[in-house]
Amino acid sequence: MTGLRSVPGTAMVMAAGKGTRMMPLTASTPKPLIAVGGTTLLDHVLDQLRAAGVGRIVVNVHYLADQVERHLAAHAGDFAVTISDERDLLRDTGGGLIKALPLIDADPFLCVNADNWWTDTSGNALQRMAATWDDARMDVLMLVVPFDRAGNTQGTGDFDLDQAGRLSREGPKRARPYVWTGVQMLAKRIVADPPTDVFSTNVFWDRAIAAGRCYGLVHTGAWYDVGYPEAIGLTEAALAGG
């Protein structure tokens, strides 16, 4: 199958983290509820999912979980919301996906981190991902952005991208030309065989890379890392400037 007829109807929203890079703002407010230009990071993600046609979300919670749940209750008319409760143990991204997987009824499914901000210029990015998905070749499809267009990034780039669209990161850590945006599509078959209860999604990515089944789609719009306090003002200024 090459290209999905529509965007997967269910998305996973990663909202459980402690937001340590965003301290002291996250001392009493969970990172997904930090606002940029009057809109919370979580609401921005939900706006993007709604615009793409997603109708159901699974959201994991841990840190200040009650605040996140109350906020989501206000969106009950927009989405069918299911909570993946990690109050007992923060499982990191990979462990969080393993716990939430039985709640996710789409395959493949979208997975979005609630600490980034993106805008579209030539088509909805999530719809572009669905149109790009090829189940025969892919287990993972990441939305990536060229390093020189990665707003506010504090990293050095995450991946190399070959002419066929496959992602890799072999060899020692070094500057790489593409940054992951925190937006991805995953086949449920790759979310398997957890090494422990707490682990990173990197485990799944490395498996997909080794099999030649981890692909990247280059985002054509703007993208901003909003993971630390100074990035809020930088992102607001960039958005105000068009």
Question: Average pLDDT for residues 173-196, to the nearest whole number?
Answer: 96
Q: Are the C-beta atoms of residues 41 and 19 closer than 8 Å to each other?
A: no
> 3-class DSSP state for residue 23?
coil
**Domain holding 193: CATH number?**
3.90.550.10
Residue 207 belongs to a domain: yes
Residue 178 belongs to a domain: yes
169: tokens are 């990161």
Residue 5 belongs to a domain: no
Residue 203 belongs to a domain: yes
Residue 124 belongs to a domain: yes
pLDDT computed for residue 242 by the predictor: 67
Residue 2 belongs to a domain: no
Full domain range(s) for residue 27: 10-240
What does pTM read for this prediction? 0.95
What is the domain count for the chain?
1
Residue 4 belongs to a domain: no
Q: Is the pLDDT of residue 65 over 70?
A: yes
The contacts of residue 30 (CB under 8 Å, 6+ apart) are 15, 19, 63, 64, 65, 67, 68
**Confidence at 4, pLDDT banded by 50, 70, 90:** confident
Residue 3 belongs to a domain: no
**Confidence at 74, pLDDT banded by 50, 70, 90:** confident
Q: Is the pLDDT of residue 180 over 60?
A: yes
Question: Average pLDDT for residues 122-128, to the nearest whole number?
Answer: 93
